Amino acid sequence: MPLTLPPRDKYVVGVISDTHNLMRAEALRALAGAELIVHAGDIGRPEVLDALSAVAPTVVAVRGNNDREPWARGIAETETIEIGEVRLYLLHALQELALDPAASGFDVIVSGHSHRPSVERRGRVLYLNPGSAGPRRFKLPVTVARLTVRGRSCRARIVELAV
């Protein structure tokens, strides 16, 4: 059953992924003010989700390929979220997307895994990868994202963390 939030003028969604056991204070500050935080997998440990829950009233996470510990077994591999008129589909690795987002009625696809932040519109569907907020990988930036939902309109921006 999807998480459903009622229609409202504006929702701010914090988007994070690939923390790999590291919950940075800079990431928590960048996500402050969000009504909902979504974590696109490779969480690392439950304390990461606890820290996010202290920032936003609702946190939704999916299990990543590195979330193999017993505590993570209860976390789904995909989640659907309805924010007013907008439908989000959350998964860890975009290459595992097993549906046609537009045909399935999704407006936003949120994924992680690659550690590469990106915001891309394909037709009417917005694809958002917040990058990695965990340990730096190669020379990639350490990032999160903020998604603003107004009616049927969605806008995302990547926030680079000063670490």
Domain span at residue 29 reads 3-107+114-160
CATH code, domain with 87: 3.60.21.10
Amino acid residing at 131: G
Question: Beta strand pairing status for 143-150 and 11-16?
Answer: antiparallel
Question: How confident is the prediction for the chain on average, in pLDDT?
Answer: 96
Going by pLDDT thresholds of 50, 70 and 90, the confidence category of residue 6 is confident
Beta bridge partners of 86: 83
Q: How far apart are CA 33 and CA 120, in angstroms?
A: 24
**Residue 27, helix vs strand vs coil:** helix
The predicted structure's pLDDT at residue 1: 74
The predicted structure's pLDDT at residue 2: 85
The predicted structure's pLDDT at residue 24: 97
Going by pLDDT thresholds of 50, 70 and 90, the confidence category of residue 8 is confident
Side-by-side strand order, sheet with 153-160:
58-61, 36-39, 11-16, 143-150, 153-160
pTM exceeding 0.85: yes
The predicted structure's pLDDT at residue 118: 98
The predicted structure's pLDDT at residue 103: 97
pLDDT digits (tens, 9 = 90+) for 17-39: 999 999 999 999 999 999 999 99
How many domains is the chain partitioned into structurally? 1
| Longest CA–CA separation in the chain, Å | 41
Q: How far apart are CA 97 and CA 109, in angstroms?
A: 9
Report CA 12 to chain centroid distance, whole Å. 12
Task: State mean pLDDT over 42-64.
Answer: 97
